[in-house]
Structure 1
Amino acid sequence: MNRLAIFCGSKLGNNSAYENATKQLVQELVKQGIEIVYGGGDVGLMGVVAETAIKNDGVITGVIPDKLYEMEVAHTGITKLYRVKDMHERKALMADLSDGFIALPGGVGTLEEMTEVMTWAQIGYHSKPCAFLNTNGYYNHFISFFDHMEKEGFLYKSIHAQAIVEEKVSELLKKLIRN
C-alpha cells in the first residue's frame, strides 16, 4: 500500500480526541512511508492532516475544487495540490490516486465521500479497502445503520463486511494494510 486517501472534517469537532487521533494516524502513515491524499484544505481536521504530514516530512497530495480554492481554504504548503472543477472530479481523482480509504470524523461531506467509494467497490469499480477510524465511538451510529440496512435487506453482507472499523490507529492500519 503506497498511498491512502483520508476523508475528514473541515472542522475540528468538540473533542480533542479527534485531533489527537488524526495526528497519530498521519504520523504512523508517514513513518511507514505511506503517502497521503486528502481534500486539500487547511482548516479543521484537514488542516491537521496537512500540518502533521508536513511536520513529519511526509508526502501529501491535496485535491481541492475551484470553489473551495477561491474561498481561500486550500493548503498551499503541501507536496502537491490539484485544483479541480468540482466535488465529482475531486472524489474521482482522490480515488484514482489512492490504494485505500480512511474516514476520520467529519460531517456529511465525509460520509458522502466514503459511502461513494464504498458504492464504487460494490459495483466493481475498485477493490480498495475502506476503513473508519472510530475515534471516541464517532461512527457507532453509522455502523449501526449498516446493520439496520443489512437486516432490512438493502445492504449486501459483503459491503458491510468490507468496512474496516477500528478505534485504535494501530489496529486500523494492521487490517487496512493486510487487505
Structure 2
Amino acid sequence: MPAIEKICVFCGSSEGNDQAIIDAAVRLGETFAKREITLVYGAAKIGVMGIIAKATLDAGGKVTGVIPGFLKKKEVVHLGLTQLITTDNMHERKLRMHELSDGFIAMPGGIGTLEELFEILTWLQLGLHTKPIGLLNINGFYNDLLQLLETMVRKGFVSMENYELLLVGTTIDGLLEKMSQFKAPPIPHWLTEERT
C-alpha cells in the first residue's frame, strides 16, 4: 500500500487515571513527528487528545484538527494546530477525518472513541475504504473488548476475516509496522453499486 503520511487518532477527551496511557500518548506524538506522519484528530486541547497533539507539535510535527462548530469553545479547541478545520456537525467531522487520513489508530478512550473506531471499521468491512485500522492496546486496556469480539466470532456474528481487519498492537512501532503491511480484502461479493 502507499506510504502512510497522515494518521487519524481516536482517543479520549479525558486523561483517565493510567499513567501508562498518558506516556503512550506522548510517545505516539513524538513518533509521528519523527516519522513525519501528520496527526489528524478531533482538535481538542484536553485529555489524551490534547496530550498527543502537544507531543506531536513539541517534537516539530504537523497536526490537523477537525471539530464541529458547537464544540469550538476556547476551553476545548486547540488553537495552536498546524491546521484547524471546522465542520457543521459530528457526522461531517468524521467524514472529513476519514478523507484526510491514510490510516487510523484507536487509543484508550470512552464511548466516543469506540463509536469512531467501530464506524470506520464497519466502513472497511463494507469496502467503503481500504485504509488500515489499528488498536493500540496499552496496558491491557482493550483486552475485554477483544474478548467480546472473539465471542462474536464464536457465536457467528463476526467472520474471522472481519475480525482480522482490526490490527492490534501493544507497541507503537509494532502497530505501525502492521499498518504499513496491511492489504484490504476484496469488496464483499454481496455488495453491489446499488447497495452502497
Shift of 1:173: 1.3
Kindly indicate which of the two structures has a greater share of residues assigned to helix: 1
Match of 1:145 in 2: 148
Question: Where in structure 2 are the equivalents of 1:57-68 lying within 5 Å?
Answer: 57-68=60-71
Match of 1:53 in 2: 56
Match of 1:21 in 2: 24
- Aligned residue-pair number: 179
Moved over 3 A (4+): none
Shift of 1:71: 6.5
- Quick check: 1:156 aligned with 2:167? no
- Identity over aligned pairs, percent: 41
- Quick check: 1:105 aligned with 2:108? yes
Q: Which blocks of at least 5 consecutive residues in structure 2 are unaligned? A: 183-196
Question: Does the residue aligned with 1:78 lie in a helix, a strand or coil?
Answer: coil
AA paired with 1:113? E
Question: Does the residue aligned with 1:144 lie in a helix, a strand or coil?
Answer: helix
Tell me which moved more, 166-175 or 1-10: 166-175
Match of 2:92 in 1: 89
Tell me which moved more, 113-122 or 61-70: 61-70
**TM-score, with normalisation over the residues of structure 1?**
0.97
Deviations 1:105-149 (A, max 9, x none): 000000000100000001110011111110000011111111111
Match of 1:41 in 2: 44
Match of 1:74 in 2: 77
Deviations 1:73-126 (A, max 9, x none): 110101001111111111100001001100000000000001000000011100
AA paired with 2:48? L
Q: Distance in 2 between matches of 1:109 and 1:57?
A: 28
Q: Distance in 1 between matches of 2:159 and 2:131?
A: 17
Larger gyration radius, structure 1 or structure 2: 2
Two-structure CA RMSD over aligned residues (Å):
1.0
